[in-house]
Amino acid sequence: MPELGNLDWEKLVREHVESPPRTCGQDVIAELAAHLEEVYEEARARGSNDVDAMQRTLQEVENWDVLATKIARAKSEEDSVNHRTKSLWLPGMATLLGASALLALIQFAGFQPRVVWFGGHAMLFYWHWLVALPVFGALGAYLSQRARGSICARLAAGLSPVLVMLITMCLILPWAVAVDGFSSLLIASFGVGLTNWVALPALALLIGALPFLHENRVAETRRSAS
């Protein structure tokens, strides 16, 4: 007989409540699973055997369909858009604004960028900014993690300044080609800009975001247990 203590509670809840057309968010599934796990553990701590503890736990929900419907109704206005706002857009915006404000401040304070010549192209390194960027990467990823954002959301929130820059550059490139015509100089400038404003800042932001890109403890504990 399998050890029920190692049961994947989230999987159990998901199987019951996530049948279409109702869709309970990951937050809800994790919360309900954690509750069931505690009920089970408490029953075990009181001396029940595995089977009795499991029976006691499953008594918490008489009818999963009714529960899923009630939760869907209760959550109807607080939908996934809200979750995405909390876990992606707001943390991403905080990182973007913070990093942009710092760059503006550095320029306003008169700190000069370090100029490095690369194949006839000047690369401007705002190294004060680059050094500080991990803090903003960490901020975005942390805020997203706190809002139960997925690893992708945390990564995107932490790297939001460079994602915005990348999109902007990709939009500008066709326009530049249309105006100035295609040339190797244009491509080289684009490459330098990409390195300067996307690749290096991305690396710095990623360093800060990395500690927040692991899975949450509950999932880790469960995986190692099973």
Partner 1 sequence: MHTMTSTMTKRIRSKIARGSGELAILSLLAEQPLYGFEIAKQISERTGGALQFTLASLYPLLYEMEKRGWVEGRWQANHAGRDRRYYSLTVAGRKQLAPLRQEWRSFFHALDNLAGVSHA
| Contact set with partner 1 (CB under 8 A) | 27-28, 30-32, 34-36, 38-39, 59-63, 66-67, 70-71, 73-75, 77-78, 146, 148, 216-218, 221
Pairing of strands 114-118, 121-125: antiparallel
Closest CB to partner 1 among residues 11, 146? 146
User: Rounded to the nearest 10 degrees, what angle do helices 184-194 and 160-180 cross at?
Assistant: 170
Smallest distance, partner 1 to C-beta of residue 28, A: 8
Min dist. Cβ of residue 134 to partner 1 (A) = 24
For residues 35 and 128, which CB has a smaller minimum distance to partner 1 in the complex?
35
Distance CA 160, CA 163 (A): 5
By beta-carbon proximity to partner 1, the closer residue of 39 and 96 is: 39
Q: Considering beta carbons, is residue 57 or 160 the nearer one to partner 1?
A: 57
Least distance between partner 1 and beta carbon 81 (Å): 14
In angstroms, the Cα distances linking 192 to 124, 186, 207 are 9, 10, 22
Contact 40/225 with Cβ under 8 angstroms? no
CB 217 to partner 1: min, Å: 6
Residue 136's SS3 state is helix
